[in-house]
Amino acid sequence: MREVTGKTTVLGVIGDPISHSLSPTLHNLLAEAMGHDVVYVAFHVKPGNVSEAIQGAYALGIKGLNVTMPHKQEVVQELCKKSQEVDFAKAANTLVYTAEGYVGLNTDIEGLQKAMLANDIQWKDKHVAIIGAGGAGYAACLSVMATAKSISLYNRTKDKAESLKKNLEHLTKTDIKVYEIDEQPSVKPELVIQTTGVGMGSLKDQLPPCTKLLVTPDTQVVDLIYNPKETAFLSYAKAQGCKVMNGFDMLFYQGVMAYEQFTHEQLPEVVVSQVRQTLRNQLGL
Ligand code: NAP
Q: How far is the CA of 161 from the centre of ligand 1 (A)?
A: 12
Q: How far is the CA of 266 from the centre of ligand 1 (A)?
A: 30
Residue type, 205: D
Helices (H), ranges, the chain:
23-34, 50-59, 84-89, 108-118, 135-144, 158-168, 211-214, 232-239, 248-263, 269-283
Q: Is 64 in the pocket of ligand 1 (CB under 6 A)?
A: no
Kindly report the number of other CB atoms within 10 A of residue 16's CB atom.
16
Q: Is 106 in the pocket of ligand 1 (CB under 6 A)?
A: no
Q: Is 160 in the pocket of ligand 1 (CB under 6 A)?
A: yes
What's the whole-number mean pLDDT along residues 89-96? 96
Q: Rounded to an integer, what distance in angstroms lies between the CA atom of residue 104 and that of residue 94?
A: 6
Give the pLDDT confidence score for residue 231 in this predicted structure. Answer: 97
Residue 284 — left, alpha, or beta (φ > 0 → left; ψ -120 to 50 → alpha)? Answer: left
Catalytic residue among 63, 72, 114, 126: 72
Give the pLDDT confidence score for residue 23 in this predicted structure. Answer: 97
What's the whole-number mean pLDDT along residues 137-149? 97
Give the pLDDT confidence score for residue 222 in this predicted structure. Answer: 98
Give the pLDDT confidence score for residue 254 in this predicted structure. Answer: 98
Q: How far is the CA of 169 from the centre of ligand 1 (A)?
A: 21
Residue of the CA atom closest to atom 16 of ligand 1 = 198
CB 31 within 8 A of CB 83: no
Q: Is 135 in the pocket of ligand 1 (CB under 6 A)?
A: yes
pTM (2 d.p.): 0.96
Q: Is the pLDDT of residue 208 over 90?
A: yes
With the most atoms of ligand 1 within 8 angstroms of its CB, the residue from 67, 193, 195 to mutate is 195
Query: Which range (20-24, 95-99, 157-161, 239-243) has the least confidence?
Result: 20-24
> What percent of the chain has a predicted confidence (pLDDT) above 90?
97
**Catalytic site residue 63?**
no
- Read off the pLDDT of residues 263-285 as tens digits, 9 standing for 90 and up: 999 999 999 999 999 999 999 88
